[in-house]
Amino acid sequence: MVPVILGRLALSILLGLGIVAGLIWGEVIAIPNHLNPFTPLRIADDVGWLTRLKLSRLERDGEQCRAVLADSFVSHRSVPDRPLEQGCGLSDAVEVSRSLVGLSREFTATCSLTVVWALFEVHVLRPAARQHFGQDVVRVTHFGTYACRNVNHRANGRRSEHATANAIDIAGFVLADGQQITVKSDWTGSNARRSAFLRTLRNGACDFFDVVLSPDYNEAHHDHFHFDMGPYRACR
pLDDT in tens, 58-97: 999 999 999 999 999 999 999 999 999 999 999 999 999 9
Span of 1-15, 62-76, 132-146 with lowest mean pLDDT: 1-15
Torsion of CA 90, 150, 170, 217, to 10 degrees: 140
The DSSP secondary structure of the chain, one letter per residue, reads -HHHHHHHHHHHHHHHHHHHHHHHHTTSS---GGG-TTSPP-TTSPP-TTHHHHHHHHHH-HHHHHHHHHTSS-EEEEE--EEEETTEEESSEEEEEESSSEESS-EEEEHHHHHHHHHHIIIIIHHHHHHHHSS-EEEEEEEES----BGGG-SSSPBPGGGGT-EEEEEEEEETTS-EEEHHHHSSSS-HHHHHHHHHHHHHHTTT-SEEE-TTT-GGGTT-EEEE-SS--EE-
pLDDT-based confidence at residue 121 (cuts at 50, 70, 90): very high
pLDDT given at position 38: 87
pLDDT at 28 over 80: no
The mean pLDDT value for 22-49 works out to: 73
Higher pLDDT, 5 or 178: 178
- Please state the domain extents for the chain: 62-235
pLDDT in tens, 167-203: 999 999 999 999 999 999 999 999 999 999 999 999 9
CATH number of this structure's domain 62-235: 3.30.1380
What average pLDDT does the chain have? 89
**pTM (2 d.p.):** 0.86
pLDDT at 20 over 80: no
